[in-house]
Amino acid sequence: MSLEQALAIPLASGRITLNNGRIGISGKLLFELNSDKLEPEGRQLLKSLVVPLRSYLQSRDEILMVSGFTDDKAIGQRNRQFEDNWELSAQRALTVTRTLIEEGMPSSALFAAAFGQEQPLVANTNDQARAQNRRVEMAPVPKASKAAQAVTAPQ
């Protein structure tokens, strides 16, 4: 089964994108600006992804990297909850990761990563561009090989 096949329904609805094996979700669908509190529509979307993603990952012996990204605007004075964009992107990735686990994804099947403003999709030239850069992406990655696990296992 391909990733496109596994995610056909959410892809058709336009609520996610798929580009080079990376599943993209707009930040505005998941979170309010400068927030890590998941929106109800975002929770429903994540819930709908659990079964197809779990099946896909199991069939491929892969795990899911959940990555948070922000735009280049500094966290405002009004929001003292986050030190900077790194922290905001990390908290968003953790929120999505924890939600997927709550909705049935095995915790061993995913991990969170934060990129802050460092990997924009487009140049941060205006509000529309910045909105594109505020996102969460999920990408299947290979599990560590059995040999690598044996080398690092405690003796």
Share of the chain above pLDDT 90, in %: 70
Note the pTM of the prediction, 2 decimals: 0.88
Measuring CA to CA, which residue among 17, 51, 141, 42 is closest to residue 95?
42
pLDDT grade for 33, boundaries at 50, 70 and 90: confident
Q: Give the alpha-carbon dihedral of 93, 149, 54, 120, to 10 degrees.
A: 30
Task: Give the C-alpha separation, 137 to 96, whole Å.
Answer: 10
Task: Give the C-alpha separation, 90 to 114, whole Å.
Answer: 5
Q: How many angstroms separate the most distant Cα atoms in the chain?
A: 55
**107-149 pLDDT per residue, tens:** 999 999 999 999 999 999 999 999 999 999 999 999 876 545 5
Q: Which domains does the chain have, with CATH numbers?
A: 3-152 (3.30.1330.60)
pLDDT at residue 23 in the model: 96
pLDDT at residue 2 in the model: 86
User: 């487009």: which residue's tokens?
Assistant: 122
Is the per-residue pLDDT at 1 higher than 70?
no
User: Which of 40-49, 60-69, 73-82, 110-119 is the least confident region?
Assistant: 73-82
Give the 3-state secondary structure of residue 72: coil
